[in-house]
Amino acid sequence: MNDMIDAATANALLKPRSIALVGISDDAAKTNGRPLRFLRAAGYPGTIYNVNPTRTEVQGEPAYPSLSALPEVPEHAFILTNSQLAIDAVEECGRLGIRVATILAGGFSESGPEGAAREQQLRDIAKRTGVRILGPSSLGVVNLREKLVLTANAAFAEPELPIGGIFCASHSGSMLGALTSRGRAKGVGFSGLISVGSETDLCIGEICESTLDDPNITGYMLFLESLSHADALRRFAIGAAQRGKPVVAYKLGRSEAAAELAVSHTGALAGEDAVAETFFRDCGIARVETLEGFLEALPLLGRLPVSKLNTTGRTPTVGVVTTTGGGAAMAVDQLGIRGVAVVPPSAETLARMAERGINVNPGGIVDLTLAGTRYDVMKAALEVMLTAPEFDLVVATVGSSARYNPDLAVKPVIDSASFSDTPLACFVVPEAPQALSLLNEAGVPSFRTPEACGDVIAAAFARRAPGELVQVTAPARGERMLNEADAYAMITPLGVPHAAYKVLNVNEPVPELGFDYPVVVKVLHDEIAHKTDVGGVILPVRDAAELAEAMGRIVDSVGQHLPELTIERVLVQAMGKGLGEVLVGFRRDADVGPLIMLAAGGILTEIYRDRAMRLAPISVETAREMVSEVKALQALAGYRGRAEGDLEAIAQAVSDFSRLALQEDCLVLEAEMNPLLVKAKGEGVVAVDALVRIA
């Protein structure tokens, strides 16, 4: 894992006192002419050195022929040349001791083997000289408080961008423009924005981490195309959670098609979306699925720190107060399809409401339409709801009055927002930019569409406080499979139960087994992972005679399939019987590190991709959440009067198994219990096959 960025580098990156613009164009309208124009327009107070070997003047300012010709060593060089010249420029930066070099050009690893070689050159220079690189394919960095608009993104031609508390880091440079313009329309202001490009050296996690103690930064937006450098991202997320600074992510690659696109777009391996989802949740990062929600999420996340979330697996509950039935129903719908339950006020809450003169129909939501839209009614209803114990969050849905009479329905929302610890959010049904601005300025979580409302609230509740940092080690080159007996030896100390077994030598007589027939007989060999494929499994075997014969048949059959191997041993195992079976998997993902997975067995659960995943290791409590997420396990939870399986024992086994992540004597790359038989409630679970691959 990368170390933390040192303070001098962080300053050179985000608050440089001097900048060199390498390859700056005389044409201020061109992409590589823009940074000078933008810096001057913003009133950047530091020193700017223009470097252009073919001109003595650029955009009316003097230009130097090279970096080494400058009167001082600048802190930050923005290299605007093509990719080949950029390498030379970075080399020069390194030689001169320039701390940060930002590269605009593309044409590196995303464009084939030659580009990848160029990118390796960059890495070598950074390692050799200590220069830190932002990019390639970076559109630059913006720090509004420092009047640093060091970017080639055309969107920053816009004057007087609103300054706020958000730091935004993005793999896509062009998105920074879209986010600032969309943010501006909502009254969302940024502290800084950075385009990290392909993260050859400096990565999003490190950069954000270096800003954690900046008091001006109150939250983070991450626009991601991949999960590369997830270890640094996780370290940043832990730091953000400790400081109560919320983080929201919009990550591409939700669909398989888009995941493939991301590969061709940035050269980064996008990875499976379920892994990303797991990573964000377990790092306490809210992952939203709507663009609008991305821009609207932080106020709610700030009001609902991960440390205060309910983690009992109970479905989060929301109460709704509305001045429009149809509008509220849209929000309820969007919450419901995302697993957030809108619950009715309790009888006690209704009684408290009646005491304050508000009589509403019992039912799902508190509909004030009949009461008319009045400040005092709205305020009183919200105060009662915000102090009712049955709600994790209250949503106020405001209709036409948001557009025509914000004082009647929006002001009471603002005035009630801090009435209790229960967060209050607002969905504004008509087009009402003024109401949204008022809400935003007051820091009240507010939403322009029912989809963003449902999206952000669900994403906020989905988060979990990040666990401790686990060493994420990329799979080593050398790796090997353990045979089944060695695999049991590895998992038994964790407490995971397996079916009784005995290892027999095929050339010796059958001994007492110590457990009952019938049994299953399986070939035992380090190099045979798929035992059935080579005729290496026989069952049921009913007595010692059949066992002796089965050993012979296995030796023959495996010998025919794999004549180069000598088969000396089999594993004989008691045949278990369960109400059902599950698959428990562990793997050390190249991006995000140790993952634990639970799925029901069988072909259908594979087709439905019905599984739960977490960053490992996990507690039993978290494992219980996983059990409740696997839909097929409803069949073992007393579904339609069926016998109940031992779901608690599954949770215990999954939690135990997840501690493979911490194994210190050897690095476990992958492990699986498939199947783990699930017995009746109270009777436990038992692994009847196991597989472990170690580094």
Nearer to a second copy, 181 or 492 (CB): 181
Nearer to a second copy, 164 or 466 (CB): 164
Binding to a second copy, residues 16-75 (CB under 8 A): 31
Binding to a second copy, residues 212-241 (CB under 8 A): 223, 225
Q: Are 380 and 424 in contact (CB under 8 A)?
A: no
Binding to a second copy, residues 249-278 (CB under 8 A): 252-258, 260-262, 264-265
> 71 is written with which tokens?
């009167």
* Residue 544: strand, helix, or coil: helix
Nearer to a second copy, 164 or 617 (CB): 164
Of 376, 631, 643, 683, the one binding a second copy by CB under 8 A: 631
The contact pattern for a second copy, residues 443-462, with x = CB under 8 A and - = no contact, is: ------xxx-----------
Q: Does 515 bind a second copy (CB under 8 A)?
A: no
Q: Of 487, 513, 481, give the one whose Cα is nearest residue 500.
A: 513
Q: Are 91 and 125 in contact (CB under 8 A)?
A: yes
Least Å from the CB of residue 72 to a second copy: 34
* Residue 606: strand, helix, or coil: helix
* Interacting span for a second copy (CB under 8 A) from 13-21, 487-495, 497-505, 626-634: 626-634
Binding to a second copy, residues 89-148 (CB under 8 A): 106
* Interacting span for a second copy (CB under 8 A) from 68-76, 356-364, 480-488, 548-556: 356-364
Count of residues engaged in binding a second copy, rule: CB under 8 A: 85
Least Å from the CB of residue 515 to a second copy: 32
Least Å from the CB of residue 198 to a second copy: 12
Of 191, 278, 324, 446, the one binding a second copy by CB under 8 A: 324
Neighbour count for residue 159 (Cβ, 10 Å): 7
Residue with tokens 């299953």: 520
Nearer to a second copy, 157 or 575 (CB): 157
Ordered DSSP codes for 112-141: HHHHHHHHHHHHHHHHHH--EEE-SS--EE
Distance CA 512, CA 497 (A): 22
Of 4, 163, 274, 291, the one binding a second copy by CB under 8 A: 291
* Interacting span for a second copy (CB under 8 A) from 78-86, 362-370, 513-521, 669-677: 362-370
> 664 is written with which tokens?
């210190």
Nearer to a second copy, 104 or 570 (CB): 104
Least Å from the CB of residue 87 to a second copy: 19
Distance CA 614, CA 597 (A): 7
Q: Does 434 bind a second copy (CB under 8 A)?
A: no
Least Å from the CB of residue 547 to a second copy: 31
Nearer to a second copy, 33 or 177 (CB): 177
Q: Does 632 bind a second copy (CB under 8 A)?
A: yes
Of 404, 419, 515, 517, the one binding a second copy by CB under 8 A: 404
* Interacting span for a second copy (CB under 8 A) from 71-79, 533-541, 565-573, 636-644: 636-644
Q: Of 134, 104, 97, 96, give the one whose Cα is nearest residue 22.
A: 104
Q: Does 605 bind a second copy (CB under 8 A)?
A: yes
- Write out 393-422 in H/E/C secondary structure: EEEEEECCHHHHCHHHHHHHHHHHCCCCCC
Q: Does 184 bind a second copy (CB under 8 A)?
A: yes
Of 24, 432, 555, 626, the one binding a second copy by CB under 8 A: 432
Distance CA 285, CA 220 (A): 10
DSSP run (H or E) holding 298: helix 298-303
Binding to a second copy, residues 145-174 (CB under 8 A): 153-155, 157-158, 170-174
Of 401, 440, 483, 663, the one binding a second copy by CB under 8 A: 401
Ordered DSSP codes for 18-47: EEEEET--S-TTSGGGHHHHHHHHHT--SE
* Residue 346: strand, helix, or coil: coil
Binding to a second copy, residues 574-593 (CB under 8 A): none
Least Å from the CB of residue 430 to a second copy: 4
Distance CA 670, CA 648 (A): 24
Least Å from the CB of residue 318 to a second copy: 10
Question: Which phi and psi angles does 344 have, rounded to 5°?
Answer: -75, 155
* Interacting span for a second copy (CB under 8 A) from 61-69, 352-360, 363-371, 462-470: 363-371
The type of residue at 482 is L
DSSP run (H or E) holding 471: none
Q: Which pairs count as long-range contacts for 359-368, CB under 8 Å and 24+ apart, including other chains?
A: 364/320, 364/332, 365/319, 365/320, 365/321, 365/322, 365/325, 365/328, 365/332, 366/319, 366/320, 366/321, 366/322, 367/322, 367/325, 367/328, 368/321, 368/322, 368/323
